[in-house]
């Protein structure tokens, strides 16, 4: 005699279907959480070529090296602080917002904006004035 469950299915088939339902539910749950897994993309990374108007002033490389027109050195970050080592070490507050790098020298008012591409001298002031500096520039 075959035992039957509530839905008039054999109990072994009912147990199998319950397992499948649980697996489908777990798969859907895990698939939706997969996008939340660790993201290696650092949105506040200062890596890139940085310009003020038409002048390339900083080249910050992924390998920890930094260059400016007349010298090379190293760089590192810790939280909101960027340390650049040329002949002397200087630690700056920084923020990458949108495509722009904003640097504030502690003790100084305001920030220095750096663009990711060359901008014509005539357009530089207009572009910078259209932007809202990040909160580190107001401290």
pLDDT in tens, 45-83: 999 999 999 999 999 999 999 998 889 999 999 998 999
Residue 43 lies in a domain: no
Q: In this structure, are 133 and 65 located in the same domain?
A: yes
> Is the pLDDT assigned to residue 39 strictly greater than 80?
no
Count: domains in the chain: 2
d(CA 9, CA 24): 20
Question: What is the domain range of residue 58?
Answer: 48-138
Q: In this structure, are 16 and 57 located in the same domain?
A: no
Q: What percent of the chain has pLDDT over 90?
A: 50
User: In the chain, what is the straight-line distance between the N-terminal and C-terminal CA atoms, in Å?
Assistant: 81
Residue 39 lies in a domain: no
Q: In this structure, are 30 and 57 located in the same domain?
A: no
Q: In this structure, are 59 and 122 located in the same domain?
A: yes
> Is the pLDDT assigned to residue 38 strictly greater than 80?
no
d(CA 68, CA 49): 10
């Amino acid at each position: 005699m075959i035992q039957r469950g509530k839905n008039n299915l054999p109990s072994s088939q009912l147990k199998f279907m319950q397992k499948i339902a649980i697996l489908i539910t777990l798969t859907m749950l895990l698939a939706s959480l997969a996008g939340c897994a660790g993201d290696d993309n650092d949105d506040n990374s200062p890596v890139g070529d940085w310009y003020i108007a038409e002048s390339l002033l900083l080249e910050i490389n992924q390998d920890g090296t930094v260059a400016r027109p007349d010298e090379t050195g190293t760089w590192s970050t810790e939280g909101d602080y960027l340390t650049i080592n040329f002949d002397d070490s200087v630690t700056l507050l920084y923020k990458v917002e949108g495509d722009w790098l904003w640097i504030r020298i502690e003790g100084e008012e305001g920030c220095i904006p750096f663009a990711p591409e060359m901008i014509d001298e005539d357009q530089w002031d207009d572009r910078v004035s259209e932007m809202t500096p990040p909160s580190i520039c107001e401290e």
